[in-house]
A and B are shown apart, each in its own frame.
Chain A
Amino acid sequence: MENNLKNSEAHLKSLFEKENGFSVPKNYFKDTKVQLMGFLLEDKIVKKKTFSTPELYFDNLEDSIITKVTLKEKKLTIFSFKQKKYKLAAIGIAASIMLSIGIGYFSNFTSEENFENLTQNDIESWILNSSSDITPQEVATYIPFENKNTTDFIFANINDQEIENYIIYNENYMLLNEIN
């Protein structure tokens, strides 16, 4: 009887090349190993949201983002003192500042050294190197109102990386969102 069974088995095996007719999807065992490991991990750590948000945070998000997007579409205004149009104004501003702050400094000028002889570089150099702390806001107050043309600026000439570096250097992160 045992011999018969063995013969039958041998016969069956000879009929079918595979030991059984079942197969698995490609990479099944590889994936299963990964899935099982994931399962083991989940067994120890209940998968749940451990981070939370302030109350109603998601409720007003659409408005907040739409407002930002709308604001972004309004272009920034940057004056360039290198533009011809503002060059004269810049000299005027610098001269005014020098008059109001550095009158003592220039009191020893000879007739050859007057404001007309000063180059833009001289003026810029004095502003940069003088001990007085002139802020951009102070400079802005000297710009004649008629020159405050908000549509004329050279923003396009400055690349994003330069702007980004400037903002990071000055730690004014609010402005980072203004970069493309």
Chain B
Amino acid sequence: MIEETLLIAQLKSIQTKEKAFRQLIFLYKERLYWHIRKIVISHDDADDVLQNTFIKIFKNIDKFNQESKLFTWMYRIATNESITFINKKAKQRNINITDYQQELVSSLASDDFFTGDEIQLILQKAIAILPRKQQLVFNMKYFDELKYNEMSEILGTTVGALKASYFHAVKKIESYIKKYTD
């Protein structure tokens, strides 16, 4: 795999930018897609947000100062793009974000690109009622298996606060699931 510093240098050079960008998409498209998908839920929306994320990355790569890892920086952009997207959609529908997310999750049962069983659907419903930060932390830790220090860089939150968020998220999800399965 191409070394990160070399890739960044190529991305910042006009001569090699496009080729390096293609490589960057190849390397990170799936990880970023799944992260976005868990936030915006539908495939079409995830596709839009993913494309916007890469466009933002392309346009702002010169401003990337390498204080964090490239992936962490891209992950942060993807997170912000996803949240902005959700907020816009909720605003257009004139409903609050929690209601909008509930609607999204409710539509999963008939979504061709959702293959989960009933318990998986309950899990998604449980995640949707969590506060935004707890949702992000839960998805990043539970599904993406990111380390707390990586999450801390992405979300700009202390490790301690992230652990507390994860703890509360798991507790709430457990009790939600218990209510439906007992």
Contacts and interface: CB of A to CB of B under 8 A. Distances in A.
Do A and B belong to a common assembly?
A: yes
Interface in A124-180: 168, 171, 177, 180
A44 B22 contact: no
B55 A58 contact: no
A111 B181 CA distance: 86
B33 interface: yes
Interface in A34-82: 34, 37-38, 40-41, 44-45, 47-54, 57-58, 61-62, 64-66, 68-69, 72
A9 interface: no
A61 B173 CA distance: 34
Interface stretch (B4-12, B66-74, B109-117, B149-157): B109-117
B152 to A, nearest CB: 14
Given A44-B181, A51-B37, A177-B51, A38 B113 contact: no
Contact size class for B? Answer: 35 or more
Nearest to B59: A180
Contact of B113 (A53, A65, A69, A177): A53
B26 A34 contact: no
A69 to B, nearest CB: 5
B26 A62 contact: yes
A66 B142 contact: no
B25 A52 contact: no
Given A38-B170, A51-B34, A69 B58 contact: yes
B171 interface: yes
B75 interface: no
A6 to B, nearest CB: 43
Contacts, number: 93
Nearest to B145: A47
A51 B54 contact: no
A45 B119 contact: yes
A30 interface: yes
Interface string B5-37: 000000000000010011001100110011001
A58 B33 contact: yes
Contacts of A62: 22, 25-26, 29
Given A38-B170, A54-B43, A62-B25, A68 B55 contact: yes
A54 B113 contact: yes
Contact of A66 (B21, B113, B181): B21
A51 B116 CA distance: 7
A116 B60 CA distance: 51
B61 to A, nearest CB: 11
B88 interface: yes
Interface in B52-109: 52, 54-55, 58-59, 88, 91-92
B29 to A, nearest CB: 5
Nearest to A36: B170
10 contacts: A33-B167, A44-B177, A44-B181, A45-B119, A45-B123, A48-B120, A54-B43, A54-B113, A62-B22, A168-B91
The 7 closest A-B pairs by CB, nearest first: A50-B116, A37-B170, A50-B120, A62-B25, A52-B113, A65-B54, A34-B167
